[in-house]
Amino acid sequence: MSTAEETAGGETSAWGEVTPDAARRLLVAAVEAFAERGYHATTTRDIAGRAGMSPAALYIHYKTKEELLHRISSIGHAKALDILRTAARREGTPAERLADAVSSFVRWHAGGRTTARVVQYELDSLGPDARAEILALRRQCDAEVRGIIEDGVAAGDFDVLDVKGTTLAVMSLCIDVARWFNVDGPWTPDEVGALDADLVLRMVGAK
């Protein structure tokens, strides 16, 4: 799977809300460029060229390069929050909900790893206001996982001494998949999701 196919197909249900088509093409091109070269090394000319458009055409849809990154980050974090919230609020035991949250979150990071790398690792490239907005979404993501763990502790299903620290460890395990996952490697996104879900249940001492 090429970067373009992954970005536009693996997770582009997330980009379906970006209209018109030219704006979506530019956003997909920006994801590819930021993931490959980094935000600061990427120029608007790079992005426009990947989209098959002129640099002037980019400014019709996005005022700045940062606006593109902000849009990518907002959509990506909203999708991440939806994944975790859906798992946290489903029927089932805390262990079932936590396993669902982890496996789903990991699959998203593996299946859309190019997008996930930009969403998760370019936060510091945003300006103060945009960064604050994305950090608020991140805190909501953390809160969904922390809530499941707290439920498990309260029910006597989990043995966790530090809920906050454990939540950080769980989130880090999931997010880091975007850094190392290789589509040509030995595991599928589903297999990595199942593996990490099992590791997290062991981590919290699930009974």
Q: Which structural domain range is residue 46 located in? A: 3-65
Tell me what pLDDT residue 59 has.
93
- C-alpha to C-alpha distance for 121 and 77, rounded to whole angstroms: 12
Alpha-helical segments (H) within 51-112 = 55-61, 65-88, 94-111
Stated pTM of the model: 0.88
Query: How confident is the chain (207 residues) per 10-residue block, as mean pLDDT?
Result: 38 71 94 95 95 93 95 95 96 98 97 94 95 97 98 97 97 96 93 98 95
Give the pLDDT score at 17: 83
Give the CATH number of the domain where residue 198 resides: 1.10.357.10
Query: Alpha-carbon distance 84 to 97, whole Å?
Result: 9
| pLDDT tens, residue by residue, 126-149 | 999 999 999 999 999 999 999 999
State how far Cα 26 lies from the chain centre.
Answer: 19
Regarding whether 57 and 81 lie in a shared domain, the answer is no
Mean pLDDT score of the chain: 92
Amino acid 69: pLDDT: 97
- Total structural domains within the chain: 2
Question: Is 59 in the same domain as 110?
Answer: no
**pLDDT score for 10:** 44
46 and 88 both lie in a single domain: no
| 157: nearest Cα among 93, 84, 92, 86 | 93
Asked if 108 contacts 80 with a C-beta cutoff of 8 angstroms, the reply is yes
Which residues are within 8 A (CB) of 105 and not within 5 positions of it... i.e. 6 or more apart?
80, 83, 84, 87, 174
The CATH number for 23's domain is 1.10.10.60
Say yes or no: 47 and 78 in one domain: no
> What is the SS3 assignment for 85?
helix
